[in-house]
Amino acid sequence: MRKTHVDIGGLTIRNPVMTASGTFGYGEEYAPYIDLRRLGAVIVKGLSLKPQPGNYPPRIIETPAGMLNAIGLENVGVERFITEKLPPLRDIDIPVIANIFGETVEDYMRVAEILSGAAGVSGLEINISCPNIKRGGIDFGTDPDLAYEVTSAVRKATHLPVIAKLTPNVTDVTVIARSVVDAGADAVSLINTLKGLSVDIATRRPHLRNITGGLSGPAVKPVALRMVWEVARSVSVPVIGLGGIMTAADALEFLIVGATAVQVGTASFIDPAATVNIVDGIDRYLEDHGIDDISDLIGSFHTN
């Protein structure tokens, strides 16, 4: 029997493939298309203390080998998530990881506390790519001290495994990674989207109402892979790799450079079965290469 399960900071998942937050709704939306139990875990849309309507459209524009989005973190709020979205997921035997965000450290703590009391949540992923309103709008995830502060507050507010999700919009992502691990993160995930812009030359206006947006999809994969490789060498906690994973081959690259698990985002918009196809493709690779334990593959990268 091949061993494909991996441990993410105390949470054991049956295979290393998860959904990326914001690209898989609250999970249930995909139930008509795939058997959710085939996935390692479902990471749901980012949740805040109060419901948020998000930005005005246009909020998405396709770009070469990717897309820009400025959804603005629209979500139903943590309370409605627990009463309406979580019960159907609880009936499925799948770990649910809640992605959380806020505008202040207190917001993050409160959301973490509320979710920790809800049956059926197996872990928290902290989206630190949000501006802190008390600190003049600097993104939590671009400042090592703020990243430390928010991670350590969430760590204290919950007994659940805490994954800190890192932004690529920094000069040295390993500095932020070490800071969140020092603050008690059980794992890190990266990358969130890269900040970008697209112009409509007919109107000379931005394509997105928000002007800028976050770039995702195959265009970001080499950047994501390089950052995951750097972070995996810099911290001792599990690293979850994402950014542009469309196929099993893409996912395998992340595992080889040191990711313990992967997340699949934009690919699910193109093919709702992308995640399960990636699970199957990883299995085939392990079989073809005579690898009985996926941990023998993780971090097996060599450069000489």
Ligand X SMILES: Cc1cc2nc3c(=O)[nH]c(=O)nc-3n(C[C@H](O)[C@H](O)[C@H](O)COP(=O)(O)O)c2cc1C
Q: Is 99 in the site for ligand X (CB under 6 A)?
A: yes
Q: Which stretch binds ligand X (CB under 6 A): 9-17, 89-97, 237-245, 289-297?
A: 237-245
| Candidates 130, 147, 251, 257; catalytic one | 130
Instruction: List binders of ligand X among 174-233 (CB under 6 A).
Output: 192-193, 216-217, 220
Q: Which stretch binds ligand X (CB under 6 A): 14-22, 30-38, 77-85, 230-238?
A: 14-22
To the nearest whole angstrom, how small is the minimum distance from the Cβ of residue 206 to ligand X? 17
Q: Give catalytic status of residue 95 as yes or no.
A: no
Q: Three-state secondary structure along 264-292? A: ECCHHHHCCCHHHHHHHHHHHHHHHCCCC
Q: Is 243 in the site for ligand X (CB under 6 A)?
A: yes
Q: Is 141 in the site for ligand X (CB under 6 A)?
A: no
Q: Is 238 in the site for ligand X (CB under 6 A)?
A: no
Nearer to ligand X, 40 or 244 (CB): 244
Site string for ligand X, 253-292 (x = CB under 6 A): -----------xxx--------------------------
Nearer to ligand X, 144 or 217 (CB): 217
Please provide residue 68's backbone torsions phi and psi, each rounded to the nearest 5 degrees. -110, 135
To the nearest whole angstrom, how small is the minimum distance from the Cβ of residue 293 to ligand X? 26
Q: Is 244 in the site for ligand X (CB under 6 A)?
A: yes
Nearer to ligand X, 4 or 69 (CB): 69
Taken as a whole, the chain contains a residue count of: 304
Q: How many Cα atoms within 13 Å fall on the side-chain side of residue 133?
A: 7
- Give burial (CB, 10 Å; 0-12/13-18/19+) of 113: middle
Contact indicator for 122, 158 with CB cutoff of 8 Å? no
Handedness of CA 47, 78, 237, 155 (dihedral sign): positive
Nearer to ligand X, 64 or 290 (CB): 64
To the nearest whole angstrom, how small is the minimum distance from the Cβ of residue 85 to ligand X? 14
Contact indicator for 108, 102 with CB cutoff of 8 Å? yes
Please provide residue 46's backbone torsions phi and psi, each rounded to the nearest 5 degrees. -55, 135
Give the CA radius of gyration of the chain.
18
Residue from 114, 44, 126 nearest 86 by CA: 44
Contacting positions for ligand X (CB under 6 A): 20-23, 45-46, 69, 71, 73, 99, 127, 165, 192-193, 216-217, 220, 242-245, 264-266
Q: Residues with catalytic annotation?
A: 130
